[in-house]
């Protein structure tokens, strides 16, 4: 394999910790060269040692030992950030989750890169307006928030500032699609973005149920594995509810089930206008005429997941 000849360009990975190393695997596996900038002592040795396992863990790819060695040759290390970003097609920042760190870093990088270089942050929850606060053009920075580990899981949440250029967002979406990722566009920034906000609610309740002794930890995990886990993984939580409402769809589930159950849990029922709006969105997004196809998909995937269990 002649890696250099096939290179799609160089990506600067700023911060080579858990996420930076995993992104590096995804980038080199998809034809990019990578320069990692991280001041940690021994970072190069540590990353080179761990990258083979990451590369073997990428879905849909299979590399021989020789190919793995050639891919790792695509990775270089440059502790000086100003040098690391010279001539790169993209910067993927994965440093400490601190407002000041990210804002100062992107302000420093901005004048050093070409106008087409993508400036991307893996931040788990800091919004792009904060990260771009010290830049000349704060709208250049776009969140590309992966789910750990990025070399394996498809999701990358994409979020620009409220005034971001649509053409830039489209380029970022195309960049991640080119890595076999599933970029998901957020219409506006919200702290924690979407996946971690969902996770926080569910995990918070799970921990509370275990901590208060309602269930033991293993039982809690089994409850998830044998119910919501496969159901949600097959078609997503909202389509699952919409289908669960039969001919009445999501509107029926919310008005006749959800609103009757949640008050006893200390939660507010949904107002009628929200139920009407959400019911309409569900009908438009997942038309009743296609229900049979969605049910077949749900069943195929659910059976596949259950039968794949060891």
Nearer to ligand NAD by Cβ, of 131 and 235: the residue is: 131
* Residues 6+ positions from 275 with CB-CB distance below 8 Å: 251, 254, 255, 259
Q: Please choose, out of 32-40, 44-52, 155-163, 209-217, the segment that lies near ligand NAD by the rule CB under 6 A.
A: 32-40
From 157, 283, 284, 307, active-site residue: 157
- Which residue, 222, 118, 108, 227, is CA-closest to 176? 118
Q: In Å, what is the CA distance from 75 to each residue of 147, 175, 273?
A: 22, 19, 54
Nearer to ligand NAD by Cβ, of 147 and 258: the residue is: 147
54 binds ligand NAD (CB under 6 A): no
281 binds ligand NAD (CB under 6 A): no
Residue labelled with tokens 């790169």:
88
Nearer to ligand NAD by Cβ, of 10 and 255: the residue is: 10
38 binds ligand NAD (CB under 6 A): yes
Q: Do 138 and 165 touch, CB atoms closer than 8 A?
A: no
Residue labelled with tokens 């858990």:
18
Chosen residue from 12, 15, 117, 179 binding ligand NAD by CB under 6 A: 15
Nearer to ligand NAD by Cβ, of 124 and 161: the residue is: 124
- We find the least distance from the C-beta atom of residue 121 to ligand NAD, in angstroms, to be 7
Neighbours of 262 (CB within 10 A): 14
Q: Is 157 a catalytic residue?
A: yes
DSSP state at residue 266 = T
The tokens of 31 are what?
A: 């034809």
Residues that bind ligand NAD (CB under 6 A): 14-20, 37-40, 94-97, 122-124, 145-146, 148
């Amino acid at each position: 394999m002649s890696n250099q000849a096939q290179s799609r360009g160089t990506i600067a990975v700023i911060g080579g910790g858990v996420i930076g190393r995993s992104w590096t695997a995804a980038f080199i596996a998809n034809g990019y060269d990578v320069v990692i900038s991280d001041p940690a002592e021994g970072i190069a040795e540590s990353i080179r040692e761990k990258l083979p396992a990451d590369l073997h863990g990428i879905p849909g790819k299979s590399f021989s030992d020789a190919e793995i060695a050639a891919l790792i040759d695509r990775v270089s290390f440059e502790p000086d950030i100003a040098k690391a970003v010279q001539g790169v097609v993209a910067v993927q920042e994965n440093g400490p989750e601190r407002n000041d760190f990210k804002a100062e870093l992107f302000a420093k990088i901005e004048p050093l890169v070409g106008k087409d270089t993508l400036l991307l942050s893996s931040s788990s929850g800091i919004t792009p307006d904060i990260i771009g606060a010290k830049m000349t053009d704060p709208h250049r920075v776009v969140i590309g928030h992966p789910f750990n580990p990025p070399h394996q899981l498809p999701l990358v949440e994409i979020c620009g500032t409220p005034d971001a250029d649509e053409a830039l967002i489209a380029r970022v979406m195309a960049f991640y699609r080119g890595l076999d990722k599933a970029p998901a566009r957020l219409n506006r920034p919200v702290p924690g973005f979407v996946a971690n906000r969902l996770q926080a609610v569910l995990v918070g309740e799970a921990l509370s149920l275990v901590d208060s002794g309602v269930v033991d930890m293993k039982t809690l995990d089994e409850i998830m594995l044998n119910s919501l886990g496969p159901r949600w993984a097959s078609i997503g939580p909202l389509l699952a509810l919409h289908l669960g409402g039969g001919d009445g769809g999501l509107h029926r589930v919310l008005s006749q089930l959800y609103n009757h159950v949640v008050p006893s849990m200390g939660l507010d029922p949904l107002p009628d206008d929200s139920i009407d709006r959400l019911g309409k969105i569900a009908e438009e997004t997942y038309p009743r005429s296609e229900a049979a196809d969605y049910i077949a998909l749900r069943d195929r995937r659910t059976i596949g997941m259950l039968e794949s269990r060891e």
